[in-house]
């Protein structure tokens, strides 16, 4: 990464402005990659900083790689780097700027550790490009990109960080729910004990791993009943149940009707649509 700065205005000072007439407006953006730098100022707009490498020393905190801070308008700041440091930044304003920022980060002028995420850096690259193009669409797209940056920051700043989300096991269930799946094996995928895994899984999905597997099977069964002529035994086997009677009991418990009745309802619905 190399140092770069982008403005819509002719002079840098003109980009330090507050707007109360638009919902959100991006004043300027850029990236810094330097061995040594220092800055002291007060801005009229919001100042988002995302450190990718090195250390930034502020008066009341230190920002390391993976840290984010948003300084609110009128907040005096002073910082300097320690060693080779890289960070991305953007200044924005507007009458919705505060609510959007607080919704994403909860607190202003306080650092959040979110880790290094390429998709946030990609948003900044797209933002730089829009400042270069600088046509009528650029203002709208720039606002969308800042909202995406804040939304991604919110995702990774939350208590349920990416590392605690059971992505690998959920993906595995969606691919292999038709087969026998051992919960202990799913826990191993997430490097967790079975107990910790079950707790993390339910916190993210709202249901246990076994319940999630069943829901995927029943969802697929509903689709097969609606769009194919397979019999109940064939559908049961297709979604992972060797015993069609057991499948029918599970289906009725989750859907509220038997597979046969579900198919009848689906066929009646199609017939009604055709005669309308």
pTM (2 d.p.): 0.61
In terms of Cβ atoms closer than 10 Å to its own Cβ (0-12, 13-18, 19+), residue 253 is exposed
Structure token pair of residue 3: 């140092």
Closest CA to 117 of 141, 90, 150: 150
Q: Would you say how long the chain is, in residues? A: 276
CATH number for 4-157: choose from 2.60.120.280, 3.40.30.10, 3.40.50.10190, 3.60.110.10: 2.60.120.280
Query: Read out DSSP for 193-256?
Result: -HHHHHHHHHHHHSS-HHHHHHHHHHHHHHHHHHH----HHHHHHHTT-S-HHHHHHHHHHHHS
pLDDT (tens digit per residue) in 150-192: 999 998 887 544 556 788 899 899 989 999 999 999 998 888 8
pLDDT (tens digit per residue) in 118-160: 899 999 999 999 999 999 899 999 999 999 999 999 988 875 4
pLDDT of residue 231: 95
Query: Read out DSSP for 150-186?
Result: HHHHHHHHSSS-GGGS-HHHHHHHHHHTTS---HHHH
Give the phi and the psi of residue 229 in degrees, each rounded to 5.
Answer: -105, 15
**DSSP character at residue 72:** P
**165-275 in CATH: which number?**
1.10.10.60
Q: Looking at the predicted structure, is the pLDDT value of residue 51 above 50?
A: yes
Which one has a higher pLDDT value, 99 or 8? 99
- Residue intervals of the chain classified under CATH 2.60.120.280 are 4-157
Please compute the mean of the pLDDT values over residues 78-83 and round it to a whole number: 85
């Amino acid at each position: 990464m190399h140092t770069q700065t982008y403005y819509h205005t002719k002079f840098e000072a003109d980009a330090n402005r507050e707007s109360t007439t638009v919902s959100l407006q991006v004043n300027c953006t850029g990236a810094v990659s330097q061995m040594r730098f220092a800055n002291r100022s007060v801005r009229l707009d919001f100042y988002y900083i995302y450190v990718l490498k090195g250390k930034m020393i502020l008066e009341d905190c230190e920002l390391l790689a993976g840290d984010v801070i948003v300084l609110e308008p009128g907040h005096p700041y002073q910082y300097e780097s320690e060693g080779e440091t890289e960070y991305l930044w953007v200044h924005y304003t507007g009458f919705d700027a505060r609510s959007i920022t607080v919704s994403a980060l909860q607190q202003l002028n306080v650092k959040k550790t979110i880790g290094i995420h390429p998709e946030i850096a990609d948003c900044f690259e797209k933002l730089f490009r829009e400042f270069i193009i600088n046509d009528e669409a650029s203002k709208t797209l720039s606002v969308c990109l800042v909202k995406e940056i804040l939304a991604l920051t919110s995702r990774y700043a939350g208590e349920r960080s990416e590392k605690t989300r059971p992505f690998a096991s959920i993906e595995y269930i969606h691919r292999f729910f038709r087969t026998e799946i051992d919960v202990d094996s799913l826990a191993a995928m997430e490097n967790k004990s079975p107990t910790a895994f079950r707790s993390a899984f339910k916190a993210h999905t709202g249901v246990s791993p076994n319940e999630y597997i069943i829901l995927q099977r029943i969802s697929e069964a509903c689709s097969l009943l609606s769009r194919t002529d397979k019999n109940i035994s064939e559908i049961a086997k297709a979604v992972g149940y060797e015993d069609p009677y057991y499948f029918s009991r599970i289906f009725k418990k989750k859907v509220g009707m038997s597979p046969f009745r579900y198919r009848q309802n689906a066929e009646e619905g199609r017939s009604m649509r055709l005669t309308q």
